[in-house]
Amino acid sequence: MNIEQLIDYLKLNSGFNENVVSWNTVPAKDAVYSDFPDYIDNRLVEYYVSKGIVKPYSHQRAAFDHARKKNDFVVVTPTASGKTLCYNVPVIDEIIKNPESRALYIFPTKALAQDQMYELNRIVESLELKIKTYTFDGDTPANARKSIRESGHVVITNPDMLHSGILPHHTIWVKLFENLKYVVIDEVHTYRGIFGSHFCNLLRRLERVCSFYGSNPKFILCSATIANPKDHAEALTGRKMFLINESGAPSGEKNFIIYNPPVVNENLGIRQSSVKLSAELASTFIRNKITTIVFAKSRIRAEIITNYIKEKTHARLAAYRGGYLPGERRDIEHKMRSGELDGIVSTNALELGIDIGSLDAVISVGYPGSVSSLLQQFGRAGRRNSSSISLLVANSSALDQYIAENPEFLTGFPPENAVINPDNLLILLDHIKCAAFELPFSETERFAPHISTTKEILDYLESEGILKNASGKYHWMNAIYPANEVSLRSASHDNVVIVDATSANKVIGEVDLSSAPTLIHDEAIYIHQGRQFYIDKLDWERRTAFCHETDSDYYTDAECKTDIHVLADDRTMKKNSFSINYGEINIREQAMLYKKIKFRTHENIGSGKITLPEIEMHTSSFWIDFDEEYLDSFGGKANSGALLYSVGYILKNIAPVHLFCDPSDIRSISMSKSSFSLKPALFIADSSPGGSGLSAKLYDIFPDIAVFASEHISRCSCKEGCPGCIGPSAGGIEGVKKIICALLKDLSNGHNPETETLH
């Protein structure tokens, strides 16, 4: 079957069709061309013509014109629409005309940076130009760095390297900063949430350094589809941006399908496993020579699906995820591009624009948490001249079921806003430190949006002995290297490396410190490229886990104990029997034990203790304190704990859709007795240290969310609760769905801003 035949086959297959909740067809689209303008160097135009690009697409031409007018702009067009041309042409043209000019490219990953360098080098070599393009990242050899600093026209780097390798050493990058004409930032949709907030501050630092050297580079940004590209680009750069969002690129017919696996146990509301079903569908596709990429939500799922497909098809298949070492990843990318692979099973590590060519089909196993992520995954399928399939297989989780119940939510594909909160105090504090290390602050300088906030933070840092105010300038006065203490991506900067002790301590992968206690504790089973490794020892101090390869019939799943202390209750709305609050909290978390779970049957076949240090963080949180009698009145004293957990479960799963965030950006913790109010309490907290602004927003829109949650529970087809609505634990309480709906309704009425007290 070719792809068109496969689409017909699926349309006519009733077994498949009865579980399709939505099938949207986007018709094929013709190209809209424009002309190369005369102001572009002829050689460059001839190069593209020789490569078959006789005329640029309309959006590419728009980009050239904006660059010509020295405008900052953002390009938002679909995957494979030729975005790189939008910046490579103005940049190379500028350097041809003025060989002193420099450009800085920032890509979120090293892999993308490599791709870009090859692309630019191809052009430069073919034109025999003396333009030097280098990647500058952690892999750059020390002896090459000097010549990159001095002679690199285009330096391609990533945010982490800009943060800790370039900006703090700006004095040896004089050539670059004095002559910087363009800053190109691709994949800007990835700079959202905490990472985006850090990134915004990083750009503030970049601008400070540029202005010290007297340069004022223009910014060219590119993004995958998000709802607010212009606003987001402006929030990141603090500049007015022009928007280019009309793509002139052609595309084949696209089929977007949402598939909800059939219910196999009505009592428990359990559906057929999305993992298994996706693996089966992928096997069918791949057997018919339909190149397919499967996106799984976790490393473990990706590995399981890979093994399944390999068993069924003998396909040439690779698993792809973040924990792999650069060489392994490069190899997979290359094989996919050159047609040596029939399919890839990936985590979201491949969502970013890594060039693996176009595929016929995408299967997303479970909703990846945001519309823009889903669109990124779906964008992997689609060739210019043939049709493609993008398939979302919903799982049993509440969020997926919420989407399966409301497919209209996705059919128009209104992607999320990318939200950043660059003025998160902790993030701001970190970057003001880094910025002060790079160049002294003057008392009247603005870094945070307000001079007064900036000054307040600077004064605080002086009182802490980190800065010294001398004659109106704050100078760095500390032995630490602040960039090393700030991670752009998460709370913890550290990674733990995993080494195979039986194979000359070969490094097989790494995980971040905060996931280490649950993923690679002693005796855990760690899965890598479909191979299983038994963790012999996690050496916490040395950030190293030692393992050996094994062949077990189970995997491990860890459980944590969590403690919360309220540090400040900033806002409170009091009702007779409960109160709704927002404030600062301290979370302490300790991995306690792990369970051994058998593959396929998922039965629990044993457990063990985990003894690792506690992980502590401060953040912001929304919470509800309940009077004990009030809570007990809903389902009886014995069931109050389970009810609370279920309310947290549904809120945590529904809220991200309305807060425009990733489910992992917030977390729910229920406590039978809060150490603050001494009452039962439910916390919905920001996952990142210092807070991300999400729980504050939840406090404001809580009544709506409580109503949505209760409607979703009533609509859910299960009888007494399922993972798709109130979660697994409250089963067994009679009429539990009605009880929880009643509780939610009561809570939504108790939200009355007039009763609010601010502290």
Partner 1 sequence: MDITQKLKLYTKPAQPSRETKEFDAASIGFHSVSGDSGNIVRKESFYSFDDIKIDEVSFKRSMKSYLSMNGFDDSIELHEILFLDLETTSLSIAAGSIPFLTGFAYFDSDMLIVEQIFIEDISREKNYLDYLLPFFANAKAVATFNGASYDVPLIKNRYMLNRVYGFPMKIPVIDILIPVRRIFKKLYESLSLGSLEKNILGFEREDDIPGFLIPDVYFSFQRSGETDRIAAVAEHNAVDIVSMIRVFSIVSSIYESASNRDFSMIDTDHMKNLASSLFAKDIDLFLDMADFLGDSILDDENLFQKFSIALKRENDYEKAVEYWKSNMTLFSLNELAKYEEHKTSNYVKALEYSETAMTLIEKNVYSENGGEIKNAARWKENFEKRIKRLKGKIGNHTS
Cβ burial 681-715 (10 Å sphere, 16+ → b, else e) = bbbbbbbbbbbbbbbbbbbeebbebbbbbbbbbee
Distance, in Å, from the CA atom of 545 to the CA atom of 493, rounded to the nearest integer, reads: 17
Distance, in Å, from the CA atom of 356 to the CA atom of 85, rounded to the nearest integer, reads: 18
Q: Which is nearer to partner 1, 316 or 473 (CB)?
A: 473
State in angstroms the smallest separation of the CB of 499 from partner 1: 22
State in angstroms the smallest separation of the CB of 583 from partner 1: 9
Angle between helical axes of 640-659 and 694-715 (0-180°, round to 10):
110
Q: Is 758 in the site for partner 1 (CB under 8 A)?
A: no
Q: Which is nearer to partner 1, 144 or 172 (CB)?
A: 172
Q: Which is nearer to partner 1, 86 or 461 (CB)?
A: 461
Q: Is 437 in the site for partner 1 (CB under 8 A)?
A: yes
State in angstroms the smallest separation of the CB of 143 from partner 1: 13
Cβ burial 70-98 (10 Å sphere, 16+ → b, else e) = ebbbbbbbbbbbbbbbbbbbbbbbbbbee
Q: Tell me which of 426, 486, 513, 654 binds partner 1, using CB under 8 A.
A: 426
State in angstroms the smallest separation of the CB of 750 from partner 1: 25
Q: Is 174 helix (H, G, I), strand (E, B) or coil?
A: helix
Asked if 695 and 651 count as a contact pair (C-beta separation under 8 A), the reply is: no
State in angstroms the smallest separation of the CB of 215 from partner 1: 15
Q: Is 602 in the site for partner 1 (CB under 8 A)?
A: no
Q: Is 144 in the site for partner 1 (CB under 8 A)?
A: no
Radius of gyration from C-alpha coordinates of the chain: 27
Asked if 67 and 218 count as a contact pair (C-beta separation under 8 A), the reply is: yes
Q: Give the binding range for partner 1 (CB under 8 A) out of 215-223, 436-444, 548-556, 645-653.
A: 436-444
HEC-encoded secondary structure of 35-85: CCCCCCCHHHHHHHHHCCCCCCEHHHHHHHHHHHCCCCEEEECCCCCCHHH
Distance, in Å, from the CA atom of 465 to the CA atom of 470, rounded to the nearest integer, reads: 13
**Secondary structure (DSSP) of 333-367:** HHHHHTT--SEEEE-GGG-S------BSEEEEES-
Q: Give the binding range for partner 1 (CB under 8 A) out of 164-172, 347-355, 589-597, 707-715.
A: 164-172
Distance, in Å, from the CA atom of 104 to the CA atom of 37, rounded to the nearest integer, reads: 24
Q: Which is nearer to partner 1, 109 or 454 (CB)?
A: 454
Q: Is 565 in the site for partner 1 (CB under 8 A)?
A: no
Distance, in Å, from the CA atom of 708 to the CA atom of 747, rounded to the nearest integer, reads: 13
Continuous H helices in 259-396: 274-287, 299-313, 326-337, 371-378
Q: Is 403 in the site for partner 1 (CB under 8 A)?
A: no
- Residue 752: phi, psi to the nearest 5? -135, 105
Asked if 30 and 249 count as a contact pair (C-beta separation under 8 A), the reply is: no
Distance, in Å, from the CA atom of 160 to the CA atom of 273, rounded to the nearest integer, reads: 38
State in angstroms the smallest separation of the CB of 674 from partner 1: 18
State in angstroms the smallest separation of the CB of 452 from partner 1: 9
Interacting positions 478-497 with partner 1 (CB under 8 A): 478-482
Q: Is 686 in the site for partner 1 (CB under 8 A)?
A: no
Interacting positions 192-231 with partner 1 (CB under 8 A): none
Distance, in Å, from the CA atom of 565 to the CA atom of 488, rounded to the nearest integer, reads: 26
Q: Tell me which of 41, 231, 570, 720 binds partner 1, using CB under 8 A.
A: 570
- Upper half-sphere CA count for residue 359 (Cβ side, 13 Å): 32
Q: Which is nearer to partner 1, 567 or 597 (CB)?
A: 567
Q: Is 451 in the site for partner 1 (CB under 8 A)?
A: no
Interacting positions 495-554 with partner 1 (CB under 8 A): none
Q: Which is nearer to partner 1, 176 or 725 (CB)?
A: 176
Q: Is 168 in the site for partner 1 (CB under 8 A)?
A: yes
Distance, in Å, from the CA atom of 137 to the CA atom of 255, rounded to the nearest integer, reads: 39
Q: Give the binding range for partner 1 (CB under 8 A) out of 151-159, 344-352, 407-415, 475-483.
A: 475-483
The one-character DSSP state at 162 is: I
Start-to-end CA distance of the chain, whole Å, equals: 67
State in angstroms the smallest separation of the CB of 476 from partner 1: 4
Comparing C-alpha atoms, which of 412, 415, 390, 397 is closest to residue 20? Answer: 390
Q: Which is nearer to partner 1, 167 or 344 (CB)?
A: 167
Q: Is 648 in the site for partner 1 (CB under 8 A)?
A: no
Asked if 328 and 259 count as a contact pair (C-beta separation under 8 A), the reply is: no
- Helix H or strand E segment including 24: strand 20-26
- Helix H or strand E segment including 208: helix 193-212
Q: Is 150 in the site for partner 1 (CB under 8 A)?
A: no
Q: Is 476 in the site for partner 1 (CB under 8 A)?
A: yes
Q: Which is nearer to partner 1, 303 or 569 (CB)?
A: 569
Q: Which is nearer to partner 1, 2 or 211 (CB)?
A: 211
Binding string to partner 1 for residues 690 to 729, with x set by CB under 8 A, is what? x---------------------------------------
Cβ burial 569-598 (10 Å sphere, 16+ → b, else e) = bebbbebeebbbbbbbbebebbbbebebbe
Q: Which is nearer to partner 1, 400 or 430 (CB)?
A: 430
Q: Tell me which of 42, 98, 171, 211 binds partner 1, using CB under 8 A.
A: 171
**Secondary structure (DSSP) of 528-584:** ETTEEEEEEEEETTTTEEEEEEE--SEEEEEEEEEEEEEEEEEEEEE-SSEEEEEEE
Q: Tell me which of 49, 144, 172, 605 binds partner 1, using CB under 8 A.
A: 172
Q: Which is nearer to partner 1, 468 or 575 (CB)?
A: 468
Q: Give the binding range for partner 1 (CB under 8 A) out of 126-134, 454-462, 499-507, 703-711.
A: 454-462
Q: Give the binding range for partner 1 (CB under 8 A) out of 407-415, 457-465, 654-662, 675-683.
A: 457-465
Size of the site for partner 1 (CB under 8 A): 42
Q: Which is nearer to partner 1, 149 or 299 (CB)?
A: 149
Those residues whose C-beta lies under 8 Å from the C-beta of residue 452, and which sit 6 or more positions away, are none
Q: Give the binding range for partner 1 (CB under 8 A) out of 275-283, 375-383, 434-442, 497-505.
A: 434-442
Token pair in block for residue 592: 């306690």
- Helix H or strand E segment including 737: helix 736-749
Q: Give the binding range for partner 1 (CB under 8 A) out of 95-103, 154-162, 225-233, 468-476.
A: 468-476
Residue with tokens 């890594």: 354
Q: Tell me which of 54, 264, 568, 678 binds partner 1, using CB under 8 A.
A: 568
Q: Which is nearer to partner 1, 152 or 165 (CB)?
A: 165
Residue with tokens 């940076």: 113
Q: Tell me which of 473, 574, 575, 595 binds partner 1, using CB under 8 A.
A: 473
Q: Is 618 in the site for partner 1 (CB under 8 A)?
A: yes
Using CB under 8 A as the criterion, which residues of the chain lie in contact with partner 1 when the complex forms? 168-172, 174, 425-426, 429, 436-440, 453, 456-457, 459-460, 463-465, 468, 470-473, 475-482, 567-568, 570, 584, 618, 689-690
